[in-house]
Structure 1
Amino acid sequence: MKRDSRLSGVLHVLLHMAEHDAPVTSEVLAKAMATNPVVIRRIMAGLRDHGYVHSERGHGGGWTLACELSDVTLRDIYTALGNPSLLAIGNRTEAPGCLVEQAVNAALNQAFQDAEALLVSRLGDVTLAMLSADFHDRLVARGGSHDLATVHGS
């Protein structure tokens, strides 16, 4: 089963954007994420609707952050993405006629709900500023600099 990596990808893009004072185009972000600019625009439009990013059209345009990193949690971004499924496992059948499978589903459903509630809660404990600080610690330790145009081999 394919994993939904949108949350990870969006966080990646937002942290790159935080390193730039100027707008970053969908094309540049798409290269960094090895995807199509249309995918970036679709995802970023949802974030714009929640007030996390801003877009400018035309020459010199692109995407910029419209929020303070310390004010936004990973749960906020997860919610802005539409609360994608967090678990890749599920019941074999959602409405089984078999009483055994009904008992299995009841137990699994409760475990899935508990696991998702814990994960969403933990996402609320981490801000974008915390991720940015971790990135900067790693950058200093490596002795490098951040240049979106070259960091991903663009």
Structure 2
Amino acid sequence: MSQPEIDPDLAFIREAVHAMPIARTLGVEVTALRRGHAELRTPIADAMTFRPGQLQAAAVFAAGDCAAVAAAGTLLEPGSWAATIDGTIKLVAPASGTGLRAVGRVVDAGRLLTTCAAEVYAVDGDAERLCATWLGTARRMTPRLV
């Protein structure tokens, strides 16, 4: 297995994704991070399927969401984070196989809002097939001073 392609300056994004309960539940692993780009892998677990080997749409949405918003987060300074404020998904093929690979990217970055997208691929061995596209908006969040 190859080493993750994580920009060391962006390791805080990987930690933020891995700290999210939904990401832990789904088994999300961040495999690549660079400015404006994030890649994640998610295994297809029986508990997340609606029929044997076919992932439920909510889990596919979550994979796309995590990848796209992680990509948005790569443009932020440490101490800030990106939070989803809206998202939509288009399912184009069954999410079946052994896992998903979600590739997130920034479409347009603003000071407060970032439009981001992800392509989600169903993985089975060496074969990949596009199963969904995700488009949404993330908001820059900062700690509040009291």
TM superposition score category, shorter chain reference: under 0.3
TM-score by length of 2: 0.27
TM-score by length of 1: 0.26
More strand by share: 2
Say which structure, 1 or 2, has more relative contact order (CA 8 Å, 6+ apart).
Answer: 1
More helix by share: 1
* Higher gyration radius (CA): 1
